[in-house]
Amino acid sequence: MHQRMSQQMILAPRMIQSMEILQLPIMALQERIQQELQENPVLELKEIEDTPSAPGEESDAPPDLGDDSYDPGAKELVIDETGGNELDFDRLEALSKDWEDHFNEEHRPSRNGIDEEGDKKHDAMQNMASRPQSLQDYLNEQVAFLDGTAGQAKLLRHVIAFVDENGYITVPLEDIARTADEPLTTEQVEEALQVIRRLDPPGVGARDLKECLLLQVTPETPHRDVLRALILHHLEDIQHNRLPAIQRRTGFDLHEIKEAIEVLRHLNPRPGSAFVAEHVPYVVPDIIVERDENAEYTVRLLDDWLPSISISRKYIDLYREKGSDPRTREYLKRKIQAAQWLQESIEQRRNTLEKVTRAIIQHQRAFLDRGPEHVVPLKMQQIADQVGVHVTTVSRAVDDKWVQTPRGVFPLKRFFVGGVTVDGEDIAYEKIKQKLHELIDQEDKGSPLSDEELVDKLQVSGFPVARRTVTKYRKMLKIPSSRQRKVWSLSS
């Protein structure tokens, strides 16, 4: 029992780090590697050199360890965490016998070796690109200053992961609760959301425009009561400049209504807009999907340019040195272990991301062959079952990841869409949106189609949807109402 509990305690940090690394997009992973290189002296940038093979060796044989780095390879470097005085460095001891003639005292790092290595790595990392701070980064920084337990902070960060670039949370709270590492209730997610809504920028964490604007109204806001009434019930009236109608229905003074509208214009409908990096005109894909000569699609990670890291053999040799300072040995033990965990987590990220992307491409082949309008309904659970992982692993793998395809660059989440079943055929909501857009593009601009008429035309085309669904999709596509489209047509 004690041994099992000890193993669980050892595995937990590795699992946590593995999940964190998996969720990072390529630019954030580069930043994480940069941070680890700065903080862990046993890590170093691996230099790839063309070294001649030793006599008798075949040219395609695995490279020997005659350089200044240690790669744990397929066999795990096991470090005893049970409190004993000796470490199970069997592999290192075996390797060290081959190094006896390679190392001598002048190769051994001095007590200042850690600082020297740090300076070298600092110089080498000066040209590494960094990404701008995101809204989620900013929110997580604020969480670090809140009073609360580690569990509460973890819950807040989980919910923050669902805040989109505009500052909204549009994912159902039930889904947020279901994708957590530990069981959560929607009430717990709601409580965390209330905390997030008190963070900066004002309005963050809202589920729709009304909530966003109301969150920015404080007791000190001028014309607070009038403003709240306008936000709750009269945004469309304001949009169409129906001030007399507002005055008639609310009983507020017309002058006060105008002043409240002026205050409303200074509220931010997109709290996250300040964090959108306008100076970055492109995204950096994590994966590329290419079509080969056999009309098949291949998947390849675009991480060749990431810093290649290894564990310095000099520090392993220093750890082995008999009679070395016990505190130094303990310090190096922790750092070597952390370095190996990082290497393994990065490799696991590669494997998982490749498998998940291949599974997605198998389902969405029609998307790549014929275009986005041929996307089929797909759930993360389907991919999780196919790959053999938990659905939360799929969620982390696709989070904030972009894929370059022959059809363009898309977020991986783009391939997960809901749908409806019509006459036994699964139809993606995306296809319905495409048809809706097409109908509006082809309408008579002098007599635009109402939402009710769009429902009828969609029904004829084989897409049975309700009026509220048409209205919802039209707004998602940022298409004005038929009345507004007619006004714009007459004024153009």
Which candidate, 280, 282, 281, 285, places its Cα nearest to that of 406?
285
| Contacts of 447 by beta carbon, 8 Å cutoff, 6+ apart | 486
User: Does residue 158 sit within a domain?
Assistant: yes
The answer on 406 and 298 residing in a single domain is: yes
Q: Which of 165, 196, 227 is the last residue of a domain?
A: 196
pLDDT score at 100: 38
Query: Going along 9-143, which residue ranges are E strands?
Result: 43-45, 69-70
The answer on 141 and 251 residing in a single domain is: no
User: Does residue 78 sit within a domain?
Assistant: no
The answer on 429 and 401 residing in a single domain is: no
User: Does residue 94 sit within a domain?
Assistant: no
- DSSP states along 364-424: THHHHHH-GGG-----HHHHHHHHTS-HHHHHHHHTT-EEEETTEEEEGGGG---EEEETT
Q: How many domains does the chain have?
A: 4
The answer on 229 and 160 residing in a single domain is: no
User: Does residue 75 sit within a domain?
Assistant: no
pLDDT score at 9: 41
The answer on 295 and 250 residing in a single domain is: no
Please, what are the averages of pLDDT over each run of 10 residues along the chain (492 residues)?
Answer: 44 75 89 90 72 40 34 37 38 38 39 48 45 81 86 91 90 86 88 93 93 93 93 89 90 92 91 67 81 89 85 85 81 89 92 94 88 79 92 89 88 76 56 79 82 84 79 81 62 38
The answer on 410 and 291 residing in a single domain is: yes
- CATH assignment of the domain containing 470: 1.10.10.60
| Contacts of 68 by beta carbon, 8 Å cutoff, 6+ apart | 44, 312, 313, 314
Q: Which of 415, 441, 473 is the last residue of a domain?
A: 415
- Residues of the chain by 3-state class (helix, strand, coil), percent to 5: 55, 10, 40
pLDDT score at 273: 82
Pairwise CA distance, residues 130 & 148, whole Å:
31
The answer on 467 and 425 residing in a single domain is: yes
The answer on 467 and 360 residing in a single domain is: no
Pairing of strands 69-70, 309-312: antiparallel
pLDDT score at 225: 93
The answer on 431 and 399 residing in a single domain is: no
Task: Please state the pTM of the whole predicted model.
Answer: 0.48
User: Does residue 337 sit within a domain?
Assistant: no
| CA dist list (Å): 488 to 83, 483, 492 | 76, 9, 6
Domain that holds residue 153: 135-196
User: Does residue 181 sit within a domain?
Assistant: yes
Which candidate, 81, 68, 33, 124, places its Cα nearest to that of 315?
68
The answer on 224 and 167 residing in a single domain is: no
The answer on 246 and 357 residing in a single domain is: no
Q: Which of 377, 400, 415 is the last residue of a domain?
A: 415
Pairwise CA distance, residues 91 & 452, whole Å:
73
Residue 264 has which token pair?
Answer: 């409303």
User: Does residue 368 sit within a domain?
Assistant: yes
Q: What do you get for the CA distance between the two ends of the chain, in Å?
A: 77
User: Does residue 406 sit within a domain?
Assistant: yes
Q: What is the DSSP letter of 348?
A: H
Residue 122 has which token pair?
Answer: 């600092």
Q: Is the dihedral of CA 46, 49, 55, 56 positive or negative?
A: positive
Strand order across the 309-312 sheet: 43-45, 309-312, 69-70
The answer on 358 and 245 residing in a single domain is: no
3-class DSSP state for residue 450?
coil
